[in-house]
Structure 1
Amino acid sequence: MPGRHSLSTTCHGLLPTTTTTLILFVLLILCLFPTTFHLLWTLPFSLLFPSPHHTKQQPSPPPGPGGAITAETKTMWFQKQFSLPARARGSYLITDTVLEQLPEIRAYKVGLLHLFVQHTSCALSLNENWDEDVRADMSDTLDKIVPEAGPKGEALYRHDAEGPDDLPAHVKSALIGASVTIPIKDGKLATGTWQGIWYLEFRAMKHTRKIVATIQGEKA
């Protein structure tokens, strides 16, 4: 029948158009959501052949005594400035002064104490804490290493605006250093039996010096 033949021809003509539209739609989905397609494509394989890289990570055990600080442990900071009594040239033991100025040390189970002197004509050091002759000998030795004048009293340095002892003081400060760092253990400075904190003054006249103390560590 003519009508039936015409309807069949029309249906057969629509099939390629519908297939083409479906293919274009799938390609559009792939372009917009490539990750989803990759997940659907690889899901059966991942279920059959699990990757060893996707194993659950086990939590790390807590450190034992003396171990590293964990993420739960909070590192505490403290900073303070204090002044030393005015002193003329010489080497002085100031361990007791530091402890008096920093009672906060007793609150720390483990940590570091950093002392920094804010001047360029003096220094800090760790050295002999018993025989005061060592400190006197240290000052005399530094004077011999960096003298104020030559054998005949002649000037040795260009920088003398503040007196002949100024430039030698700068050199001595550079040789010894402006800071010391001391470990803290159980609320005390973990120095050796014969170690003490020295303040070395290199100017002839008395000077008052300022120290910045910084504590970093874990409180008890």
Structure 2
Amino acid sequence: MSWFQKQFTLPSKSRGSYLITDEVVKQVPEIGQYKVGLLNLFVQHTSCALSLNENWDSDVREDMSDALDRIAPEDRKGNLYRHSAEGLDDMPAHIKSALVGASVSIPISNGKLATGTWQG
């Protein structure tokens, strides 16, 4: 049995929901060496999150972003949240990250991520 740990950085993007599966696979080519395994991804940021969701229809990503915006709206008037030192959009980002989570685990099978048909 073997395992490895690797740290990598993906380019920053503006607020939203993005499909990063292909970028992750490029950053971790070692996946191809494993017949059976588990990829654990963890984001080291308190206002960013990871989820495994539909990869076919980009409307799903937009709807997820819209739903999270309704749950944790930006504080345009400055009276919703106490923490506002880093901008009116910062506290909502922390809430969204806490709700969605900072990590995701994906099985590896025969050198590939074993995601469902529409997962990505």
* TM bracket (short chain): over 0.9
Q: 1:187 and 2:111 equivalent?
A: yes
Identity of aligned residues (%): 74
User: RMSD in angstroms over aligned alpha carbons?
Assistant: 1.1
Q: What CA distance in whole angstroms lies between the structure 2 residues aligned with 1:163 and 1:177?
A: 22
* Structure whose residues are more often strand by fraction: 1
**TM-score normalized by the length of structure 2:** 0.96
- Please state how far the C-alpha of 1:154 moved relative to its aligned partner: 4.8
User: Which consecutive aligned stretches of 4+ in structure 1 deviate over 3 angstroms post-superposition?
Assistant: none
| Compared CA separation, residues 154 and 164, structure 1 to 2 (3 A) | closer
Partner-residue secondary structure (3-state), 1:122: coil
**TM-score normalized by the length of structure 1:** 0.53
Equivalent in the alignment of 1:83: 9
The aligned runs of 1:194-213 (5 Å cut-off) are 194-196=118-120
* Matched pairs, number: 120
Q: What CA distance in whole angstroms lies between the structure 1 residues aligned with 2:57 and 2:74?
A: 27
Tell me the amino acid that sits aligned with residue 188 of structure 1: K
Structure 1 or 2, whichever has the larger Rg, is 1
* Structure whose residues are more often helix by fraction: 1
- Unaligned 5+ segments in structure 2 are none
Q: 1:141 and 2:62 equivalent?
A: no
Bigger RCO of structures 1 and 2 (CA < 8 A, at least 6 apart):
2
Equivalent in the alignment of 1:34: none
Equivalent in the alignment of 1:160: 84
Whether contact under 8 Å (2:78, 2:88) holds in the other structure is: no
- Unaligned 5+ segments in structure 1 are 1-74, 197-220
Q: What CA distance in whole angstroms lies between the structure 2 residues aligned with 1:179 and 1:92?
A: 15
